[in-house]
Structure 1
Amino acid sequence: MQVLSTTHELGINGASLAIPEIAARLTTRGDRIDVLVPEEVTGPLQGLIESAGGRVIRAANIKTGYDVALVNTILNAQMVSSMAPHMPVVWYIHEAEAGFDWLLKNSEGAAAFQAATHVILYHPHCRDTVFAPFLRHFPQHAVSIIPSGADIPPPDAPVPRAHEKDGRGILFVGTPYSRKRPVDLMSAFLAFCDGAPPLRIVGDSSYLDPDARPLLKRAPDRFQFLGVLDWPALRAEYERASILSLPSGSESMGRVTMEAALHGCALVLSDLPVHKGVWRDGKSALLHSVGDQPSLGLALRRLLDHPEDRIRLAEAARMVALNYPKEQSLDRVLMVLDRVTRAHQLSQPRSSAQNGVR
């Protein structure tokens, strides 16, 4: 099978990492994948794609040579429409409400839903609520819900020990722009987390919400910006931290919470629809309303002051995350690619020889 994928960026984030991971699975079984990117785009993701056996290209004849397209993220809606006349298209949408907002501002998005062969979403909420207006006439069998997963440690690997951690380290992982609401966390941290080490923030600080600047000016020594980290460095941060806080206004059930939980972190999360059925307030995480800085701060303070709660929640979170192995998610994506490709091949007119014509 020859797959044509596409991405608008070569930076590293949860959505873009899906490409080299899928590429590795495809090339291992003998398939090929080209990843089409804009001419001017560069970044570290290219090395990961090539290490996985894929090929990054800047131009392609999309009319011939490919069995199926895998279009990554909502932002590549235009590529769905461009590729659909020439091959079946699987649209892998990683966004939730943020993706819907983008569609409202970009008219090509609605047309892309009409052109796509199959759509992959992370959570039923994304299908039944967020993108429901665009999927109203979409065949039910052509929408797959495939949750994001994380690397599950082997059975003989050491189990992270929440009770052995310092108990005071708080971590944020993600691009710190307005949708992730870093200001809520930074404000709550200053108001409620006296005595804790500086809040450590992993992500591209060039996107920092401008409203965070006054907080930085007020207490510059209370925040540490670590930038974008490779996996070994990020894993070290998960192992160091005791609490992961993600106060986002919108998520699609990305991998950060799973990764942190697998490394022994207790979770403090905004109460989003995509967390329902996964994280339970007071059982496997502490949830707060979006934008509720006092509730966020009190949740952090509770975990700082009551190690028994933090340890209990961290251990429960790890048990949840073990149910979401990344390998299973990747297997399901490949099953969709195989099924869509096969259905397309069967729908094509057979050659004269196949039809018995002499």
Structure 2
Amino acid sequence: MAQPHEVEVLWGRLGPPALKDAYGTVGIPVILNAAPKAYDVVLCNSILTGSLVRRCADQCPVVWWIHEPRFGADMVRRGPDLPAAFTAATRIVFPTRWQATDIYSEWLAHENWVVVDNGVNVDLTPQLRPADLPPGCFTILQLGGVERRKGADVTLEAVRRLADPRVHLVYVGPRHPNFMPELTAEEAARIRFAGPKPETQVAAYLQHCDALSCPTRDDLVNLAILEALQSGLPVAASSFGAIPGTIRHDWNGLLSPVGDATALAANLARLRDDPALRRRLAINGQETHRERHTVARQRDALLTILEEASATARR
């Protein structure tokens, strides 16, 4: 987005240092203070910036980009300033229609919202097989925060129900204290917590695992699902929220009810036992990514919204 426009990033106190450095690497200035009147448009990222939306709205057009699923609505109810931000924003961007119709509808006073699908761009350069993925096994990947909200416990229970020593499970992502299961010695040999990894290593897991498990209890069509689709990794996900709008059961992935470890185990068993099914889901998943979830599509849609919002101030 910075190529045709002048972009600056206002850094928040919760921003990770590595991301701050990444902006600098590509030549995007990171600043600590900003005067909204100096800009054509302000893009506020996340429900956490609702107070900033209100402060900026009187000075320039504001586009509010809201990623959070249900827990975001809980934050709005606890934050006395947040409901008014929905009216103050020039435009609200949701990654899914489900957020507007099911999650935040009580605060959407007028039609100032639009849906822009999230996009991802995984590096598909062939990567070496991660050392913790033994050959000759069916390896399930769960990618992202390793916590109960993401269904980490449901995946573990599903793998236990499979009771197959050839099935391995690797969690890649930061581990939350609410998921610290006790593993038997046999389980510890084939269930691993790899921790957070840099993008190149994440790409390696996406390339060399056999299936992605994503039985989330509260999420959008999360980036792990989209990265798996682009990488050609078959997806077994929960049918939560907006996920069925992207994952069509038996076409580009397999769906199971939220919290249903038995149904997830059955889907994972299908993927384990049917290489032709895995190939078909992978091909259709890559088509879904090309049609809806590329970074270029997301960028172009956001640029259009920002330019339209900016134009409202010049009329």
Please confirm whether the aligned pair reaches a TM-score higher than 0.5, indicating the same fold: yes
1:91 & 1:76 partners in 2: Cα distance? 8
Match of 2:187 in 1: 219
Which aligned pairs between 1:1-358 and structure 2 lie closer than 5 A?
25-26=1-2, 28-38=3-13, 42-62=16-36, 64-135=37-108, 137-138=109-110, 140=111, 142-151=112-121, 168-205=138-175, 207-210=176-179, 212-215=180-183, 219-324=187-292, 325-346=294-315
Q: Which structure is larger by alpha-carbon Rg, 1 or 2? A: 1
Pairwise CA distance, 1:42: 4.3
Is the contact made by 1:89 and 1:116 (CA closer than 8 Å) also made in structure 2? yes
Q: Deviations over 1:107-152 (max 9, x none)?
A: 22212112211100011111112111111x22x2x21100011228
Q: CA–CA distance in 1 between the matches of 2:304 and 2:25?
A: 23
- Deviation digits for residues 167-223 of structure 1, max 9, x if unmatched? 712111111123212111112112215133531111112x2423x323478833332
Q: Distance in 2 between matches of 1:82 and 1:222?
A: 51
Distance 2:28 2:38 in 1: 15
CA distance in 1, matches of 2:273, 2:263: 15
Q: Which residue of 2 aligns with 1:355?
A: none
Determine if contact 2:62/2:90 at 8 Å carries over to the other structure.
yes
CA distance in 2, matches of 1:251, 1:127: 14
Task: Find the aligned partners of 2:226 and 2:267 in 1 and give their Cα distance.
Answer: 19
The alpha-carbon distance between structure 1 residues 200 and 34, as it changes in their structure 2 partners (threshold 3 A), is: same
Q: How many residues align?
A: 306
How far off is 1:317 after superposition? 1.7
CA contact (8 A) 1:193 1:300 kept: no
In structure 1, the residue matched to 2:131 is: none
Asked if the contact 1:216/1:223 (under 8 Å) is kept, the reply is no
SS in 1 for 2:149: helix
Q: Measure the CA separation in 1 of the matches of 2:177 and 2:207.
A: 24
In the alignment, structure 1 segments of 5+ residues that lack a partner are: 1-24, 159-164, 347-358
DSSP 3-state at the match of 1:170: strand
CA distance, structure 1, for counterparts of residue 226 and residue 15 of structure 2: 30
Give unpaired runs (5+ residues) of structure 2: 127-134
CA deviations on 1:16-59 (whole Å, 9 max, x unpaired) are: xxxxxxxxx22x11412232312x75421111112232222223
Matched residue, 2:130: none
Deviation at 1:237, TM superposition (A): 0.9
One-letter code of the match for 1:198? H
Structure 1 distance, partners of 2:168, 2:122, is 29
Alpha-carbon distance in structure 1 between the residues aligned to 2:191 and 2:136: 18
Name which of structure 1's ranges 260-269 and 213-222 shifts more when overlaid on structure 2. 213-222
Percentage identity across paired residues of the two chains:
24
Whole-Å separation in 1 of the counterparts to 2:17 and 2:160: 35
Aligned 8 A contact 1:268 1:285 in 2: yes
CA distance in 1: counterparts of 2:163 and 2:233, whole angstroms:
17
SS of residue matched to 1:279: coil
